Structure 1
Amino acid sequence: MITNLSIKNYALIDDIRVNFSSGLTIITGETGAGKSILLGALSLLLGKRADSSSVRDATKKCVIEADFSIANYALQELFSENDLDYDPITIVRREILPSGKSRAFVNDTPVTLTQLEALGSRLVDVHSQHETLTLSSEAFQLEMIDAIAGNEPLRESYKLQFEEVRKLSEEVQALLLEKEEANKELDYNTFLYNELKEASLEGLDLEELEETYETLNNTEVIQESMAEAIGLLSEESIGAIETAKKARAALAKIRSLSTYFNESWERLNSSIIELEDLLEGMTDHASEIEADPQRLMAVNEKLQQVHKLQQKHTAASISELLEIQKQLEGKIDDTVNLDERIEALQTKLSEARKKTKITANTLHEKRVAAVPDLKEKLEAILKDLGLPNAQFRFEIGMQETFRKHGMDSLDLLFTANKGLAFGPLKKVASGGEMSRIMLAVKAVLANYKHLPTIIFDEIDTGVSGEIANKMASILGSMSKKMQLMSITHLPQIAAKGDRHVMVYKEDVNEVTVTRLKELNNDERIVEIAKMIGGKKVTEAALANAKELLN
């Protein structure tokens, strides 16, 4: 519900603010006074694209702002989806800057026009003879039937189930595509994996392998060098060890004379012990070194195999090759396991489809059951609105596929006259008929669901007499359950209002501006009298106006 509206620097409006309440607010005024400007400003607030030419003073900012009481609208989910802070009293603001750029805010949070339009459609429904396209929408028609059938909880369940089916279907399709791509790579990945596996890289030390190769490849040189080194250390008379022993014996004679001589003897003795240990190790190692052409060939082949694998996989080490082997094994396992995952998901999808179809069937049955009641109510209201022969035919059939609002397809057929064939509503109903049908629909829906604020923009065009009285009664009845605003030229409708706002123009400093004024009871009598008899107010017109108001 709109609680107040503020408009600054828009078209003929310089700065106005008007408060609104529940019930029926009547808006009247002479042609050209600015009623359409008021709707234009409101449309901007609800997400319509801005036009900088509508700004009154191009050097200043245009600001349109409204407060909405939304506690009963169940909009928390919509706010959450759009990452907006929910507040039972929500402030919506639209600005057009002097640069021509437009900005929109909900509770001071910037929003896109798409977000603003999504919210605006849930807050205000502006209805005129030229805006009845939603009536021809299958989604709206099903929503209308569901309101009568009390299907809202069922629709919510279906929505969640439909989303689950959609999500699972996408996951299955994604896995099938993944399997198709994986199968193309499976043979190649298997070949690469087997090649690495057969190389037996686990526990292999590349540095040790290369050292073994160098040793086997240089056996003769190693044997000769080792023999020479052993000889130089161990030769009986002039070997390094024997010479060192003689030097040790010489130092032994004087070691007791000073600390220096004793330390020198000890150091030389340690060196001799180390040389003897070195000689023993070298002798043992030399005895083990022998030419082994077969082993040399095997080690060389292993090295060549590892180097080729490193080059192929751009790996710097055996650990990297082992990691690649592990990844290939994982890919192969994933490909092999895809069938199991796909089968499990398809089973889950099948169960979800069964549940969703059960809900869709229940929706269908309740819709079919609700149609006669809806048909009767609509036709009764249209009879009061001057269409005594109006008839509807709701043709509901079930499709094979899940749709956003169930599995139903709906054709709403209509005829306004006896003897004429039924046809699609949007093709056979005139503008005036569509307008009355929409009023009838809203009048029925008002009894079953919480509707947004509805603004009727001169839907009474071409209506007079008793039909005008009926239309006024319908609006009055609807306004007991919701907030209604009606821009009207009919005194019968104007008299039904809980509040009456007059739109008028006046010249200020030789500039024409649009003003709004809420009329008191006496002013209402005069305004309605003018609507009855024209600008010249007569006693008869005043009497008629008082009678209508009473």
Structure 2
Amino acid sequence: MLTSLYIKNYALIDELNVSFNNGLTIITGETGAGKSILLGGLSLVLGKRADLSQVKTAEEKCIIEAAFDIANYDLKALFKTLDLDYDVHTIIRREILASGKSRAFINDTPVTLESLVALSSYLIDIHSQHQTQQLTQDDYQFKVIDALADNKLNLEAFSKELSVFKKLQKTLDELKLSKAELIKEYDYNLFLSNELNEVNLEKINLEDLENQYEELNNVEIIGEKLSSTKAILDAEGLGVIDQINTAKQELSKIATFGKPYESLKERIISVGIELDDVLIEIDNLEDNLSTDPQELERINSKLQIVNNLFQKHSVSEIEDLIVIKVDLQSKINDTESLDQTILDKEQEILKANEKLNQIALKISKNRKKVIPIFVSKLEAILTELGMPNARFKVDLEPTKQFVKNGKDSLQFLFMANKGSSFNELKKSASGGELSRIMLAIKSILAEYIQLPSIMFDEIDTGVSGEISNKMGEIMKQMSHKMQVFTITHLPQIAAKGNAHFKVFKTDIDDITHTQLKKLNEEERIVEVAQMLGGLTITDSAMAHAKQLLN
């Protein structure tokens, strides 16, 4: 419920700070006194676009702040979605700066207008004749019937399953599109994969292959050079090894003369041992050296294949080719298994479709069950509101496709007078009739769900005294379960309130100001008397006013 409203520097309001209680709150005032200004300020808090022209003094910022008690509104999940700290005493503030920019805050946290609108729709509903057009919209008509049908949990389950169903359908469409593309590439991918598989990439050591190729391709020059090297090392008398042995003998003669000479001898011995090993290795290499044209051709062919693959796939490492091979095999597998994947997905969709149909059937059954109750209640209230011949009909028809709230189409049909036929509500009901129908529907809804605070803005325009008295009774009844505000010109309605505020203008220093005052008991009597008889208050008007208030 709205607990307080603070307005500063807005339109004709310098500063206003007012508190509200539960129940039915009446707001009255002469035409042009500024009731629309009050509503305009409240609308800003609820997310209406700001306008610099609304600021009273352009050099100062405009502030509008509304406090709400939301303990009974079950809004913790919404606050979490909006990334806001939850507080049962929630304050919404709008500021219009001198620059024309506006800012919005929820519990001192800056928010966007979208977030403000998302929250405020749960807090207060400003209802005027213009807004009765909402009644003719499909979404609102479903909201009314589903509230009476207690379909909240079913609708939540349906919405969740519908989301799953749509995702599955999207995935299936993507799979079918992928299949068409993959089929085009399948043969080529299979050719490339087979080409890579034939090479047995995992067993190829490119460096070893290249070394083998160099050896086989140069076997003659290798043999020649090994032989000449062996001759240099092992030529009798003149070979390097013999020369080393001679040097070793010479150094042995002086090795005992000191450590430097002993060290030289050891080093020459080491060189001799190393050369002996080199000579043995040369002998082994010569023994194993042979020409093998077929092996040379095999290795050359494999190297050529690998190099061609490098060039084809724009890589330079065997590991890169292996990665490409794995990727190609994956694409081939995907293509080959896609039919089964599509079939599995179609089965999932069938199950989701069946589940959705089951939930939609529950929703539809609940709707059908409450429609006669709704129509009966509505027609009874409309009779009391001066529309005894009004007849209402709710057409509920199954749809072939799922819609966002089930599998039904819904239409409110109305017949105002005897002898006429049912027609769409928006085509057959006047503005005044729509206002009374909306009031009746709101009063019915209040029996079933927790509605936000509601402000009726002169929906009693053009209504007679007896009917206005009934309208007041309905509002009074609604206020037992929710906070109700009504802006009215009718004394019969004004007298029903738990609290009564008057909007009026004053001129101070040739400047007009709008003010709002809570009336005490005596002031209420005078205000209702003026509403009955005009500015000149007669004894009979005062007596009538007391009678109404009592």
Distance 1:145-1:97 versus aligned 2 partners, 3 A rule: same
Deviation string, structure 1 residues 220-273 (Cα, Å, up to 9, x no partner): 222211111011111112111111112222223333333333322222122111
Map of 1:455 onto structure 2: 455
Aligned residue-pair number: 550
Distance (Å, rounded) in 1 between the aligned partners of 2:197 and 2:108: 63
Distance (Å, rounded) in 2 between the aligned partners of 1:374 and 1:36: 33
Shift of 1:353: 1.7
2:458 counterpart letter in structure 1: E
Structure 1 range deviating more: 236-245 or 207-216 = 207-216
Distance 1:202-1:366 versus aligned 2 partners, 3 A rule: same
Distance 1:163-1:77 versus aligned 2 partners, 3 A rule: farther
Distance (Å, rounded) in 1 between the aligned partners of 2:307 and 2:71: 73
Deviation string, structure 1 residues 148-192 (Cα, Å, up to 9, x no partner): 222223223322222332233233333333333333333333333
Is residue 398–residue 409 contact of structure 1 (8 Å, CA) maintained in 2? yes
Map of 2:331 onto structure 1: 331
1:334 counterpart letter in structure 2: D
- Tell me the SS of whatever aligns to 1:537: coil
Equivalences for 1:244-323 in 2 at 5 Å? 244-323=244-323
Distance (Å, rounded) in 2 between the aligned partners of 1:176 and 1:115: 39
Map of 1:140 onto structure 2: 140
Distance (Å, rounded) in 2 between the aligned partners of 1:84 and 1:361: 37
Shift of 1:7: 1.2
Structure 2: segments with no counterpart, 5+ residues = none
Is residue 4–residue 20 contact of structure 1 (8 Å, CA) maintained in 2? yes
Deviation string, structure 1 residues 180-219 (Cα, Å, up to 9, x no partner): 3333333333333222222221132222222222222222
1:446 counterpart letter in structure 2: A
Map of 1:443 onto structure 2: 443
1:234 counterpart letter in structure 2: D
Distance (Å, rounded) in 2 between the aligned partners of 1:11 and 1:186: 72
1:95 counterpart letter in structure 2: E
Is residue 379–residue 390 contact of structure 1 (8 Å, CA) maintained in 2? yes
Deviation string, structure 1 residues 2-42 (Cα, Å, up to 9, x no partner): 11111111111121111111111101111111100111111
Map of 1:225 onto structure 2: 225
- Tell me the SS of whatever aligns to 1:278: helix
Pairwise CA RMSD of aligned residues?
Answer: 1.7
Is residue 10–residue 55 contact of structure 1 (8 Å, CA) maintained in 2? yes
Is residue 94–residue 103 contact of structure 1 (8 Å, CA) maintained in 2? yes
Map of 1:62 onto structure 2: 62
Distance 1:97-1:139 versus aligned 2 partners, 3 A rule: same
Map of 1:49 onto structure 2: 49
Equivalences for 1:136-535 in 2 at 5 Å? 136-535=136-535
Equivalences for 1:83-122 in 2 at 5 Å? 83-122=83-122
Deviation string, structure 1 residues 331-378 (Cα, Å, up to 9, x no partner): 333333433333333322222221221111121112112111111110
1:146 counterpart letter in structure 2: D
- Tell me the SS of whatever aligns to 2:86: coil
2:501 counterpart letter in structure 1: V
Map of 2:7 onto structure 1: 7
Equivalences for 1:64-83 in 2 at 5 Å? 64-83=64-83
1:136 counterpart letter in structure 2: T
1:348 counterpart letter in structure 2: E
Shift of 1:422: 0.8
- Tell me the SS of whatever aligns to 2:353: helix
Structure 1 range deviating more: 497-506 or 364-373 = 364-373
Normalised to the residue count of structure 2, the TM-score between the two structures is 0.96
Distance (Å, rounded) in 1 between the aligned partners of 2:192 and 2:133: 63
Is residue 139–residue 405 contact of structure 1 (8 Å, CA) maintained in 2? no
- Tell me the SS of whatever aligns to 1:131: helix
Shift of 1:528: 0.6
Shift of 1:73: 1.6
- Tell me the SS of whatever aligns to 2:237: coil
Normalised to the residue count of structure 1, the TM-score between the two structures is 0.96
- Tell me the SS of whatever aligns to 2:419: coil
Shift of 1:306: 1.8
1:510 counterpart letter in structure 2: D
Shift of 1:484: 0.4
Map of 1:18 onto structure 2: 18
Distance (Å, rounded) in 1 between the aligned partners of 2:169 and 2:90: 38
Distance (Å, rounded) in 2 between the aligned partners of 1:179 and 1:84: 45
Distance (Å, rounded) in 1 between the aligned partners of 2:427 and 2:44: 30
Shift of 1:449: 0.8
Distance (Å, rounded) in 2 between the aligned partners of 1:289 and 1:511: 117
Structure 1 range deviating more: 359-368 or 443-452 = 359-368
Structure 1 range deviating more: 361-370 or 419-428 = 361-370
Distance 1:350-1:80 versus aligned 2 partners, 3 A rule: farther
Distance 1:52-1:188 versus aligned 2 partners, 3 A rule: farther
Distance (Å, rounded) in 1 between the aligned partners of 2:172 and 2:107: 41
Shift of 1:314: 2.8
Distance (Å, rounded) in 2 between the aligned partners of 1:96 and 1:306: 73
Distance (Å, rounded) in 2 between the aligned partners of 1:502 and 1:68: 22
Is residue 64–residue 93 contact of structure 1 (8 Å, CA) maintained in 2? yes
Structure 1 range deviating more: 279-288 or 142-151 = 142-151
- Tell me the SS of whatever aligns to 2:255: coil
1:142 counterpart letter in structure 2: F
Distance (Å, rounded) in 1 between the aligned partners of 2:115 and 2:57: 28
Shift of 1:504: 0.8
